[in-house]
């Protein structure tokens, strides 16, 4: 998944070992998995050359990072100009997030 972090999100990630994001749709820092329980336990943090992006290697609680229930948000592959969904959802988003 790709998400946005501000200073507070990074600090809380470092303090707790769980990925936090600044969720622009909510206007505040949230722990990833706050609604779903699908937390991300941070194992490694890598910083890019101009220090404006990081990659976090995580252990995904529940096996799915995506709100669709798929393991990854990047679960659609562009093949011959069309998007193909690859893999099955791990959970049912209706059950996790409600209707």
Q: Is 1 in the site for a second copy (CB under 8 A)?
A: yes
Cα–Cα distance, 55 to 75 (Å, whole number): 18
User: How many distinct helices (H) and strands (E) make up the chain?
Assistant: 2, 6
For residues 42 and 33, the answer to whether their CB atoms sit within 8 Å is no
Among 66, 87, 96, 97, binds a second copy (CB under 8 A): 66
Q: Is 11 in the site for a second copy (CB under 8 A)?
A: no
To a second copy, the closest distance from the beta carbon of 81 in angstroms equals: 8
With vertex at residue 20, the alpha carbon angle to CA 96 and CA 42, rounded to the nearest 5 degrees, is 95
Among 4, 7, 15, 48, binds a second copy (CB under 8 A): 48
Joined together, the tokens standing for residue 89 give 């959802």
Among 44, 59, 88, 92, binds a second copy (CB under 8 A): 44
Cα–Cα distance, 4 to 20 (Å, whole number): 9
To a second copy, the closest distance from the beta carbon of 28 in angstroms equals: 19
Under the rule (CB under 8 A), what is the footprint of a second copy? 1-2, 44-50, 53-55, 66-68, 70, 73-78, 83
């Amino acid at each position: 998944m790709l998400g946005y972090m501000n200073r507070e999100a990074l600090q809380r990630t470092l303090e707790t070992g769980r990925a936090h994001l600044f969720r622009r749709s909510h206007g505040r820092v949230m722990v990833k998995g706050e609604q779903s329980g699908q937390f991300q336990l941070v194992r490694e943090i890598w910083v890019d050359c101009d220090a404006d992006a990081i990659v976090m290697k995580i252990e995904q609680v529940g096996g799915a990072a995506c709100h669709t229930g798929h393991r990854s948000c990047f679960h659609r592959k562009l093949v011959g100009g069309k998007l193909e969904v690859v893999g099955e959802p791990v959970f049912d988003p209706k059950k996790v997030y409600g209707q």
